[in-house]
A and B are shown apart, each in its own frame.
Chain A
Amino acid sequence: QKEVEQNSGPLSVPEGAIASLNCTYSDRGSQSFFWYRQYSGKSPELIMFIYSNGDKEDGRFTAQLNKASQYVSLLIRDSQPSDSATYLCAVKGSGGYNKLIFGAGTRLAVHP
């Protein structure tokens, strides 16, 4: 079992729709969770971080965390073609310090 799992996609949604990206993790002691967006040929860009169970909203983005189910998700409302990218889920393990464990990423394609 991989430590952080994501569906590779591509996830295709029409412009204006809600895109839902999911991630599960295996380390039950993990405390910090991050979503990065990576455009082709570019480096990852931080979108959201979440530490507590529940929802966290920032503009069109909502991160959801359920530690009991070891599940993190990212919702993108009113999806735009510019949101087309690979979305990486990252988990900071229970070992502390700054080691992030990344999922393989989900490719999102928003079509007009």
Chain B
Amino acid sequence: KAGVTQTPRYLIKTRGQQVTLSCSPISGHRSVSWYQQTPGQGLQFLFEYFSETQRNKGNFPGRFSGRQFSNSRSEMNVSTLELGDSALYLCASSFPQETQYFGPGTRLLVL
């Protein structure tokens, strides 16, 4: 089975812009979770989607949003980018509970 894929792998944006990241889960997996990883805060949970519904949300501002499509692919969006949003954004898929498998991540740099 193919693993979790994320696009794009690298992004450079400027403050105030918005960005959309995409995640395709492992075939058959219906749950997609998003995480942010920074050197200072480590890996932090953003939100989880299952069957096109957000089931859980971490402690991030409303600028961070996401959605899931009927084929389980998911996107996350960050609006009005800030310098502190520079991070590795990881998505993980699971079926539909328990072990989560991570994609390669999208590295976002905000200038």
Query: Which chain A residue lies CB-closest to B40?
Result: A104
| Contact among B31, B55, B99 with A46 in the assembled complex (CB-CB below 8 Å) | B99
Given contacts A99-B33, A99-B58, contact A104 B42 (CB under 8 A): yes
Residues 39-67 of chain A, each 1 if its beta carbon lies under 8 Å from chain B, else 0: 00011111001000000000000000000
Query: Which chain B residue lies CB-closest to A42?
Result: B104
B97 with A98: CB separation less than 8 A: yes
Select the residue from A95, A99, A101, A105 with max chain B CB neighbours within 10 A.
A99
Query: Which chain B residue lies CB-closest to A95?
Result: B56
B90 with A43: CB separation less than 8 A: yes
Give the interface size bracket for B toward A: 20 to 34
Give chain B residues whose Cβ lies under 8 Å from the Cβ of A99. 33, 45, 48, 56, 58
A32 with B55: CB separation less than 8 A: no
- DSSP class of A's interface residues: helix, strand, loop or mixed? strand
Given contacts A43-B90, A95-B56, contact A100 B100 (CB under 8 A): yes
| Contact among A42, A95, A98, A105 with B100 in the assembled complex (CB-CB below 8 Å) | A98
B45 with A43: CB separation less than 8 A: no
Shortest Cβ distance from B63 into chain A, in angstroms?
20
| Contact among A43, A46, A97, A105 with B56 in the assembled complex (CB-CB below 8 Å) | A97
Chain A residues within CB distance 8 Å of chain B: 32, 34, 36, 42-46, 49, 88, 90, 92, 95, 97-105
Cross-chain pairs A/B with CB under 8 angstroms, 15 sampled:
A43-B90, A43-B103, A43-B104, A44-B43, A46-B101, A97-B97, A98-B33, A98-B48, A98-B92, A98-B94, A99-B45, A99-B56, A100-B33, A100-B35, A100-B100
